[in-house]
Structure 1
Amino acid sequence: MATNRVADAEPMMQRALAITEKRFGPDHPAVARQLDILAALLRTTNRRKEAETHLRRALNIDEKSLGGDHPIVAYDLRGLAMALQGSDHPEEAEPLLRRALAIHEKSLGTDHLLTGGTLEGLALALYGLNRLDEAKPYFRRALAILDKNLGPTHPYVAFTLNNLAVLSAEQGNWTEAAALGQRAKRVLISRRAEQGNDRSGHARALLASNSVALRAHARAVFRANASDTSAREEGFELAQWALQTGAADALAQVSVRFAKGNGPLADLVRKRQEFIVNRQGEMRRLDSATGLADKPKAEEARVAVAGLDKQLDAVDARLSIEFKDYAELANPKPLTIAAARALLRPNEALMLFLHVPQPEVPRLAEEVLAWVLTKEAVHWRSIPLGIRSLSDRVAALRCGLDRSSWDSASEWPEETALEKQRIAEQQARRDRCKKLLGLEVSSTDWPPFDLAGAHELYQALLAPFEDVTRSKHLIIVPSGPLTNLPFHVLVTQPPDPALVAMARYRRAAWLALRQSVTVLPSVGSLQALRKLAPSQAKKPYIAFGNPLLVGPSGNDKRAWDKQACRSDTALLATARGTVRGGVSLRAIDLAELRAQAPLPETADELCVVAKMLGSLRQERESVWLGERATEGNVKALSREGTLARYKVIHFATHGLLSGESEAILSARAEPALVLTPPKDDTPAAELAEDDGLLTASEVAQLRLDADWVVLSACNTAAGEKGDAEALSGLARAFFYAKARALLVSHWYVSSVAAVKLTTKAFAELEARPNIGRAEALRRSMVDLIQRGSAQDAHPAMWAPFVLVGEGGR
């Protein structure tokens, strides 16, 4: 549970309970202990009613067998009270906790650790009932006991400090809240430093579990004294700790791995990362085997873990001796404001957004804290937008961008449970858009983009800083719902109500018309990227696309006709507008994968780009289409070192969210790119190498040296859990593999739009290398808005791509 692997833990706990009941009988104290453990897990998944049932049974067993004043009974009372606090009758928790406190003080003493825990529980119960003045002294007593028994740097001490800080904030004492939060932060950061090389993920899990508290502390610092320079610095640091996403961590790992080139350090760090990934996999295998009582497989996994630990010990010993600065590189700290500003160029502005959610008991308003850094100035302010309001606003804009939001699922297959789930999810998407926009839209219509809403969001997020950012390239580090917002669709001026149809979009004052935008997963990623030496790759371009897919009918052979580049590759207007996305991967067979819509127009897309970059003369080596666009070929090119010789790597195909790739062969629920599926009779051993899906975990194992990876496939910026963290999907994997910048899509991409945007962006960069990737993409968007067809002016066509990574060069 310390590493958030609850799904793995529950079946093991259920089995342990069954074994204990069978051995000792249903009313034995040992059964009560197993019930307590299982209830604690259920509470972490918000299944409080189930937890309450188990806890009441445990209390009844212990009272009968041990007596009403036994310390274990106090433990039961406390656990039951904690479950009741999240129920419909939280007031029942207080008397249980007071009884437990009396038992502990009598049997264990007033300074015992368990007494402190019960004091904390009572304080939380009173806090939940809005009796803040009564709760505070109990929190303070608990803090003193925890500090005495566990030491000032224990995570439990940080937990109590966090609770006290929230209470102080709700009382309006922001200075005290900020001071308490600063103490809690020191605890969390010290634990991370102590466990910097841990292999279980405990230190990272601790920091992640305190993300909300770190955000609250940043707000307290702002409220206490926003104008103070040290307070601004403290808030900036807190924000960076709170926003440590998977993509940011991966980018830091890439920087470590390659910061000193491709020499001995790079090889050694790469080896260590591979060992850790393998160890995590073996630990999952061990947990699974233990839960299933499979002793041979469990022992096999234990042996594998022990072997990997020996290998890691050897690598760590070499690193500590041969590369003494590795620890600092491997455990990067947040950048100071001065350090971040030093990385910026005169024409750049760094914008960091931190959403601060409500605490569990919502008595403080939500808000967004925003920092803007330029060479000339630093600004910090609060934006009064709650996460629900912000989420709804972003979702409403996306309803006008992603045409798949309006797809009807009425004719989708619904034979399996997964197919029914997919239909329910799509219906929920459609219903939410109908509710947010207040209208019905046919899946064949252009979705109505809310220009007024886009302007309102611009006014809230960017307009307050317009005087210092207007002429600059924006480098944005988003959080929360803002990770799903392509900022270039914000509108800088009120829309003209007299304009109708596509003219509304052609004449809108899009941010993209004025400024280029780059997205970063973290502030530190700017340093990581700018420390990277320029790519040593000499070859300009390699591309993969047009996988051999036959469509739902099973006989659509258009992809077979475009397995090589044509002589008239400049004729882009003939490209057919298939929508890339929405793949229905819900059956465990290759036939279902092969039945996805073919994408023959992607051959045109890749061939035109190859021609523009002068790679078409080596078509066999640089453009991999049809039967050659396989997962096996991509992996082989990586192993041979061929992929690492290309500056630009381009994938033009279907992109899958993690749920959409679920249940394909090995059932790996993670984002993926669709490549040409293997034959039906392919042996299982070969499917492990090539099953037609290049998943995120497989991308992370590629060896690249790319300046730019283009993913002109749908939703490749979406996160592993769908859309919660929009940079932690395939983007994370490509960062890990050593891509400096990604051009990724936010929603299902029209093939025609993908062709126009990518080829124009490359043409701009080819003609003017000094403008940088972000500006090249912006000019491509502007060209489509101002000089494309009437439909091209709709943001669904020109706005799907976002540049992630280094956009300034």
Structure 2
Amino acid sequence: MTRYLAATRAGLMLAAAMLAAPALAQEDAAEAPPEAAPPADAPLAERIQYWADADRDGDPAAALAALMALQTEVEADPSAVSARQRGELLAMIGVAHYAQQQMDDAALWFDRAEAAYAEDGNAPDKVAEMAINRAVLMRRANRLGEAEEAARLALAIRQDLYDEPHEEVASALGTLGNVLYSSGRYEESLDLMRQALDEQRAAGPDDAFEIIKRLDSLASLLDETGRDTEALRVARESEALARAHLGRDHAWYGYVLNTLGQVLLDLTLYGEAIPVIRETLDVRRQQLGPEHPYTAASQMVLAVALEETGHLREASALSGAATEILEQHRDLMDPNTLAGFLRTRARLAASLGEWDLYAQRIADAEPVLAEMLDSQNPALAIFHIDHAYQLYRRGETDAARELAERWVPILAQKLIPANNDRVFGELLLARLRQLDGDAASQGDALWQTVDPVAAQLVAKLSDVRAADRDIARQASANSAAMLLYLETALDAGDEDRAFGAVQILTLSELALTQGRATDERGGGESEAFALHRQLVDTNRRLRLVERRIALELSADSEEGAAEALDAQRAQLDALAGELLATLVADHPDFIARIRPQPISLERLRQSLGEGELVTIPVETTFGSWVVQVDGRGMVWTSVDGESLRANVAALRDAVAPDSDLGAFPAEAAHALFKQLFPSGLGDHRQVFLYGGQSLASLPLAMLLTGEARGDLAGAPWLVRDAASQVIGNLAVFAAGRAQGPLRAGDISTFAGIGGAELPGEAGGEVQLAGLFRSGRPAADSIADLPPLVTADAELQALADALPGDDVLLVGSDAAEENFKRADLSGARVIAFATHGLVAGELRNLWEPALLLGTLDKDSGEDGLLGASEIARLKLDADWVILSACNTAAGADGGAPVYSGLATAFAQAGARSLMLSHWRVRDDVASVLSVETVRGAASGLSRAEALRQAQLALMSRPDIADAAHPAIWAPFVILEN
């Protein structure tokens, strides 16, 4: 992910405006008006009722004119109708004004309607309805104090009217919640939104439409307040209900899709988000037309997501078309948001090397931004600094420096030192001065300028108060800045600084999680972990209060609101300070693990034994390197990133489910080996892989150390010469080898889970092609999954290979409800032999999951143990074996590899993992897992045990295609 993803949030906020005008409370009109209007001499009450039953939306202007004519008659003879009838007429006039965006007039008419209903004395429900309408109007006009007063009046009336749960009470709770949200009172708003949903479920459990609206509002608020995991769960439920009960042609289906897409993007789950955003865009094109600004906003959001996943050409085309539309609707957009979109449009052309198009897009954007933004506006400066960066990448350093010298000082003046854009600009300017040979940008003088700037990034990535996911996002968002620091260090010949930059460029949520995994032995939550969880939550609440203060929303609130906010901020700040001080004083080792500083090159070298090599791929858009470290030192090699990624893609295609097992791209496997190991393996017999983007999707074992001659069985695979494993955290790795080999005294309990009993039968013989371990292709529902024929035997064999007690949950005993009740706190080795599902491969599956099944549809479980549920487990496992398909995959196609089930199990307390990079045949999974565990139990390291199991498998004549890497190479060991 790049530093530019901030544009996504702005784009989604604009796209969310598709909700347009808030709904007013009003009586439902009939589907069609009466055949003919009553004659002009009909009683007024009859003519008012006609319009109450009519479809007034077809011609709002004509409807308003007719209603105003009726009002003139009523004013001439008020006694001709009852107070309630007058109220209904006045309310319809208010709605008609609202429909034509005449907000002030609408408010006046609603006030008059409320007074008429109050005069009637028997219409408190109507008084509440008008108060709701006034609250909606005042909220939209940002008169939030008046909006809150009206919303609280409506809620009080409705709570007095109804003793039992009622949908009108739910509506009033939701309205008040929205008002408080707009006021920046997020926690209060969240409480009300939860109450509104509970009230609606109790009042109308069969009213799917109202429940969908409540779920959608709650999901948006959860996402906005940083509760992203819960937001995802609620957004999924909303989407599923909307699809089932409303259908894709309903306007609200577009709304809930938009919310789900926003939540997924905020979680950086691009592979899951992109199909949702595409469908949102399709819905909006159908409902609003392709030229509507809200359609264009969704199109821009899709472009940013596609850019993050490398689909640059489609992203560029989408962003170009969308920005042209949005430029015509500047009144709907914050200028800073439009500036971000224009930057994105230009950047995508540069990323494709289409420099003429890039120049045109820059030229088109400059006058627009000059008209919209002040010359000292940071957004304008950021636009020009991004342009300078693209010129630098193209080698036009003189023009780049001229721009940087002009615009970077504005950011230094306007933004705090830790601001990401300021840091990026200052590092770019320092790099350009270094290239120009400025005396003040060489030697110690260079680092006196650059180090304090880079330290701002390091401090962010060491923030104990922030959640792991937020730290990983910061690292990704600042990757371009850290790449500049890396290039500066390499050009200066400073290996230590370059090595530090590499560690920040490769920082991931998995690396942070592995630092904390060792803290929860015994299955319980340590004091340090509990303190840190409380600190992160307090910091989250503090950020929300500070956001509210920054919005300056207290001016329209009650007297003393600003002082109360300041007091709340001070209280939360003090509490966060106390918690942090306690952690620092009492648990310094814990802090060092969860927020490790980049380690020195010398520290890593000292941790390596004879014959051990650490390989670190650094892949970026603008350059790629391979860093190799052993006990003798470090070697840097620049590689062609495009060629590297092409080789990886060829090998991934060769092991895809529909691949031809009679062929293999041996040239790509050998070329990739030479890129990663330009001097060969030498005397290295243990290779550790750290980091990487595309390279993290392949096991090193399947590379060819030489040219393949003859059949694959005799090919010179890397696995023949060296064991390989993945490490997730360099600091933890360097601190000492974690577990080492398994020995009898180390194992107190083995737990095996799998073989879920499902409806259906396995069709035909086992094949590689297919969606799941057992080879059934294209299943799109749980009921279609085939049974796992060898799972129970595999788990029993694993149990037999290990000493100590066993816990086996097989077949129906493996049901999710049983698994969650089982005590696994003493299990040191846990194995899952079940279907491993990748997000998006099953209908309604939105996160990676293990399939366990369920015994009872009313159990409250869905039979899928998702990544978010796994992360909440409390384990004390030295080793978790996922004998299932594709379990090394990231949460989606755009997320880093190992970010799905791997990170979830690390969060749960697993200290090492055995994972698969692609779908594994059922018979092969059982052989590799059992033989690897047997080897580890005999004293081999896990990586060496897997190596020997793979070598033995590829020579077995009884296993079809055993010599092909698609069969023998899927598993990797991930441990520190």
TM value normalised by structure 1: 0.70
Superimposed CA distance per residue, residues 182-220 of structure 1 (whole angstroms, 9 cap, x where no aligned partner)? 564233223444x43135966653332122332353244
Distance 2:698 2:777 in 1: 25
Matches within 5 A, 1:222-241: 222-225=490-493, 231-241=494-504
Q: Is the 8 A contact 2:830 2:879 kept in 1?
A: yes
Superimposed CA distance per residue, residues 587-631 of structure 1 (whole angstroms, 9 cap, x where no aligned partner)? 6xxxx313201112111111122222256xx6xx52211110122
Aligned to 2:68: none
Aligned to 2:694: 481
Aligned to 1:733: 904
Question: Which among 52, 66, 69 is matched to residue 323 of structure 2?
Answer: 52
Letter aligned with residue 541 of structure 1: F
Distance 2:542 2:862 in 1: 22
Q: 1:346 to 1:113 in 2, by over 3 A?
A: same
Structure 2 unmatched ranges of 5 or more:
24-97, 105-140, 143-292, 306-314, 350-356, 548-564
> What secondary structure sits across from 2:950 in the alignment?
helix
Distance 2:540 2:855 in 1: 29
Question: Which among 221, 224, 230 is matched to residue 489 of structure 2?
Answer: 221
Letter aligned with residue 927 of structure 2: K
Superimposed CA distance per residue, residues 154-186 of structure 1 (whole angstroms, 9 cap, x where no aligned partner)? 323212134446767998999879868656423
Aligned to 1:97: 366
Q: Is the 8 A contact 2:378 2:414 kept in 1?
A: yes
Question: Which among 628, 631, 640 is matched to residue 813 of structure 2?
Answer: 628
Indicate the structure with greater helix content.
Answer: 2
Deviation at 1:153, TM superposition (A): 3.8
Aligned to 2:760: 551
Q: Is the 8 A contact 1:581 1:655 kept in 2?
A: no
Aligned to 1:524: 731
Q: 1:99 to 1:172 in 2, by over 3 A?
A: farther
Matches within 5 A, 1:415-494: 441=660, 446-467=661-682, 470-494=683-707
Aligned sequence identity (%): 24
> What secondary structure sits across from 2:751 in the alignment?
strand
Q: Is the 8 A contact 1:372 1:465 kept in 2?
A: no
Matches within 5 A, 1:288-687: 316=580, 318-320=582-584, 322-323=586-587, 326-358=590-622, 366-374=623-631, 377-386=632-641, 388-402=642-656, 404-406=657-659, 441=660, 446-467=661-682, 470-496=683-709, 499=710, 504-527=711-734, 530=737, 538-551=747-760, 580=773, 592-614=781-803, 622-637=807-822, 642-661=823-842, 663-664=844-845, 669-679=846-856, 682-683=857-858, 686-687=859-860
> What secondary structure sits across from 1:464 in the alignment?
coil
Q: Is the 8 A contact 1:491 1:511 kept in 2?
A: yes
* Alignment of 1:138 onto 2:403: yes
Aligned to 2:63: none
Matches within 5 A, 1:157-306: 157-164=422-429, 184-193=453-462, 195-198=463-466, 204-225=472-493, 231-255=494-518, 257-258=519-520, 266-270=526-530, 272-273=532-533
Letter aligned with residue 516 of structure 1: A
> What secondary structure sits across from 2:465 in the alignment?
coil
Aligned to 2:241: none
Q: Is the 8 A contact 1:757 1:784 kept in 2?
A: yes
Deviation at 1:315, TM superposition (A): 5.5
Q: 1:368 to 1:127 in 2, by over 3 A?
A: closer
Aligned to 1:691: 862
Deviation at 1:58, TM superposition (A): 4.8
Aligned to 2:952: 783
Q: Is the 8 A contact 2:812 2:855 kept in 1?
A: no
Q: Is the 8 A contact 2:513 2:594 kept in 1?
A: no
Letter aligned with residue 792 of structure 1: A
Q: Is the 8 A contact 1:706 1:738 kept in 2?
A: yes
Instruction: Indicate the structure (1 or 2) with the bigger Cα radius of gyration.
Output: 2
TM value normalised by structure 2: 0.59
Q: For structure 1, which segment, 165-174 or 148-157, has the greater mean C-alpha deviation from structure 2 after superposition?
A: 165-174
**How many residues were matched structurally?**
662
Q: For structure 1, which segment, 47-56 or 532-541, has the greater mean C-alpha deviation from structure 2 after superposition?
A: 532-541
* Alignment of 1:805 onto 2:805: no
> What secondary structure sits across from 1:475 in the alignment?
strand
Distance 2:515 2:679 in 1: 31
Question: Which among 708, 724, 731 is matched to residue 879 of structure 2?
Answer: 708
Distance 1:311 1:662 in 2: 44
> What secondary structure sits across from 1:644 in the alignment?
coil
Distance 2:815 2:541 in 1: 25
> What secondary structure sits across from 2:679 in the alignment?
helix
Q: 1:98 to 1:311 in 2, by over 3 A?
A: closer
Q: 1:81 to 1:596 in 2, by over 3 A?
A: closer
Deviation at 1:706, TM superposition (A): 1.3
Q: Is the 8 A contact 1:36 1:79 kept in 2?
A: no
The answer to which structure, 1 or 2, has the higher relative contact order (CA under 8 A, 6+ apart) is 1
Distance 1:215 1:35 in 2: 35
Q: 1:663 to 1:78 in 2, by over 3 A?
A: closer
Q: 1:357 to 1:10 in 2, by over 3 A?
A: same
Q: Is the 8 A contact 2:936 2:945 kept in 1?
A: yes
* Alignment of 1:22 onto 2:84: no
> What secondary structure sits across from 1:493 in the alignment?
coil
Letter aligned with residue 593 of structure 1: I
Deviation at 1:254, TM superposition (A): 1.8
Deviation at 1:116, TM superposition (A): 4.6
Distance 1:775 1:528 in 2: 21
Q: 1:3 to 1:206 in 2, by over 3 A?
A: farther
